[in-house]
Amino acid sequence: MTEHSAGSNRHSHLGVEHLGVEADEGGHDTTAAHALVAQLEDLGVEYVFGTCGHTNIAVLDALADSRIRFVIARHEQAAAHAADGYARASGKPGVLLVHVGPGLTNATTGVMTAALDSVPLVVISGDIPSYYRGRHPHQEINLHADADQASIFRPFVKRAWHVHRAQDLGRAVERAFWTATTGRPGAVLVNVPMDVFSRAAAPYPPASSAAPPDLPAATAERIAQALATAERPLLYVGGGLRENAAALISLAEHFDIPIAHSLMAKGTVPDAHPLVLGMTGFWGLELTNTYAREADVVLALATRFAETDASSWDARFTWSFEDGGRLIQIDIDPAELGRNYPVEIGAVADVGPAVQALAEAAKSHPPSARPELRERIRQARSALFAGSRERGRSDAFPLRPERILADLRDALPPDAILVTDVGWNKNGVAQCYELPAEGRFITPGGASTMGFGPAAAVGVQLAQPGRTVVALIGDGGMGAQLPAVPMAVEQDAPVIFVVMNNRSHGTISDLQSAHFGRSHGCDFTGPDGRPYSPDFAALAAACGADGHTITTPAGLHAALRTAVAARRPAVIDVPMVNEPVPTPGHWNIKDIYRGLFTD
């Protein structure tokens, strides 16, 4: 017992000694926390999103004297989604600061969402004191392993660093930003024992930069030749091409090649462009899936051919390279080349400069014209949008989902940014919402995370303060991220939260009903068995935002106009009927429900 007490006293003494801010041998008289904040300023960080905890308050104290703004959230998942939204809208890496143990684990879903969508996100997490490792101190993640909280993030982050010494923190942060933003962007973790933040450390020098890989001229010419001689060529665009698409449009128009896109790439080329076929896969048009299946040369740009965009990789529906179809794939990540389909030409390159090189190479070949194909595209797209607008004229109440989309399209300014969750709000917008050329569509693709939309929209609004930002979400997604509303109020971010409220996890309820004949465990009901929903407009008012409850078919349009003009956070609660989104493509899970699948 005496020996144990002596050991405890010895560790306590070391803790006090190590945490004292004293000049080190090099004469440094600042803490690692202050050096970290100075480094973040040098890196151009504007916002740090997160929550406080005893392991990171040294960093928060340093941020108090910084031009960097700390965006506090009431839950780490909300903070992660907000940082993600900021990164998508600004083009800069998002920065997330979390606490040990439950702080880190609460952030996991949000960080994974960013990682799977190739969004640059730098996570800085406080950890237990370094000298208590293995003793299971307060909030350490342990049971069968000691102090290894970084391992929770390892399946989806590009890299995780555990900082052992104060003098290593700056180097780890530099490498973290470098790794998050180069190659295929993604999330990274810098895990820091709390005592390291309070130790003496020197300022870290500014980081260097390097150019991403270009497409070699010979490869560009080879690809241009393949496109020039193809009978049924197709440009297929993924979410990795987020910048100005002028070069892509130039390439397409020169060879008169139709453009299809993944869910994540909606809006990369304006919906109204005459060569846009639209989205492939589950929710893609029949014409889009048919043309993709029959194309003889497909140039795939920055896409991983995800299941949703490939009709579960079933060659009968969307993509088929088994009967002479040739695939050319360009991606910054070599692991994606040939992952799901064999490639004839695969190139590792930054897709932006690569498309520019292809547009230049195309000029040495004569232009092509496919007027009949353009007419087929015009007819199919016109029918799609006209049909949606016609259904959107319905005065039925609760509103049909396409009435909600029609009112949004009419009431919002053309440069509005739609941030969706999952369900009708994502799938319906991707399929049949004619996005204006100036508009932007942001959605969770890889993880399809319910709860992404509300908090991500706050981050988007901070990145784009002059634009109208709408979080288009279901009542399930809104209920999952209620902290987003007070966060918007606190940050003076005039996000408009439009809740498509069917008192249900509607997409799954429809799926269950279609295959099992009833819905159970998917719909929200009160103790009397009747449909139930919180009063989201009242919640808004309680948080200091504007609240609108829609009670008539005409009420949504009026509420949207009011919210856009007010430039204040607002929640618009819109009763909606449960309607399935049409799925012209294929999803293998339906075969599983019917027992038609094979191993």
Q: Are residues 146 and 75 in the same domain?
A: yes
Cross-strand partners of 123: 96, 189
H or E segment and range at residue 440? strand 440-442
Evaluate whether 272 touches 437 at the Cβ level (below 8 Å): yes
585 assigned to some structural domain: no
Q: How confident is the model at residue 36 (pLDDT cuts 50, 70, 90)?
A: very high
Asked whether residue 26 carries a pLDDT value surpassing 90, the answer given is no
Q: Is 599 helix (H, G, I), strand (E, B) or coil?
A: coil
Q: How confident is the model at residue 579 (pLDDT cuts 50, 70, 90)?
A: confident
Query: Quick one: average pLDDT of 203-231?
Result: 90
Q: Are residues 230 and 156 in the same domain?
A: no
Query: Quick one: average pLDDT of 12-37?
Result: 58
Compute CA distances 274 → 355, 377, 379, whole Å: 19, 7, 10
Compute CA distances 441 → 276, 417, 496, 500, whole Å: 16, 6, 15, 17
Q: Are residues 153 and 31 in the same domain?
A: yes
Closest to 264 (Cα-Cα) out of 447, 510, 109: 447
For 110-166, the pLDDT digits (tens) are 999 999 999 999 999 999 999 988 888 888 888 777 768 899 999 999 999 999 999
474 assigned to some structural domain: yes
pLDDT value of position 599: 56
Q: Are residues 237 and 90 in the same domain?
A: no
445 assigned to some structural domain: yes
Q: How confident is the model at residue 84 (pLDDT cuts 50, 70, 90)?
A: very high
Q: Are residues 236 and 326 in the same domain?
A: yes
Q: Are residues 26 and 110 in the same domain?
A: yes
Angle at 302 between CA 359 and CA 324, to 5 degrees: 80
Asked whether residue 14 carries a pLDDT value surpassing 50, the answer given is no
pLDDT value of position 5: 35
Integer Cα distance of 305 and 283 in angstroms: 14
pLDDT value of position 244: 66
Integer Cα distance of 457 and 454 in angstroms: 5
Asked whether residue 17 carries a pLDDT value surpassing 70, the answer given is no
Which CATH number belongs to the domain containing residue 401 in this structure?
3.40.50.970
Closest to 412 (Cα-Cα) out of 426, 397, 433, 393: 433
Q: Are residues 18 and 100 in the same domain?
A: yes
Which CATH number belongs to the domain containing residue 235 in this structure?
3.40.50.1220
Integer Cα distance of 210 and 318 in angstroms: 38
User: Percentage of residues in the chain with pLDDT exceeding 70?
Assistant: 94
- Number of domains present in the structure of the chain: 3
| CB proximity list for 468: less than 8 A, separation 6 or greater | 412, 413, 415, 416, 417, 494, 496, 564
Cross-strand partners of 202: none
pLDDT value of position 139: 84
209 assigned to some structural domain: no
Q: Is the pTM of this model over 0.85?
A: yes
Which residue among 165, 197, 229 closes a domain? 197
Q: Are residues 411 and 534 in the same domain?
A: yes
pLDDT value of position 342: 94
Which residue among 376, 408, 425 closes a domain? 376
pLDDT value of position 507: 86
Q: Are residues 357 and 430 in the same domain?
A: no
For 283-335, the pLDDT digits (tens) are 888 999 999 999 999 999 999 999 999 999 999 999 999 878 999 999 999 99
pLDDT value of position 574: 97
206 assigned to some structural domain: no
What residues make up the domain containing 18? 2-197
202 assigned to some structural domain: no
Asked whether residue 6 carries a pLDDT value surpassing 80, the answer given is no
57 assigned to some structural domain: yes
Asked whether residue 207 carries a pLDDT value surpassing 90, the answer given is no
539 assigned to some structural domain: yes
Q: Are residues 188 and 333 in the same domain?
A: no
Integer Cα distance of 482 and 212 in angstroms: 40
Angle at 305 between CA 300 and CA 308, to 5 degrees: 135
For 462-506, the pLDDT digits (tens) are 999 999 999 999 999 998 899 999 999 999 999 999 999 999 998
Q: How confident is the model at residue 32 (pLDDT cuts 50, 70, 90)?
A: very high
Q: Are residues 238 and 98 in the same domain?
A: no
Q: Are residues 296 and 362 in the same domain?
A: yes
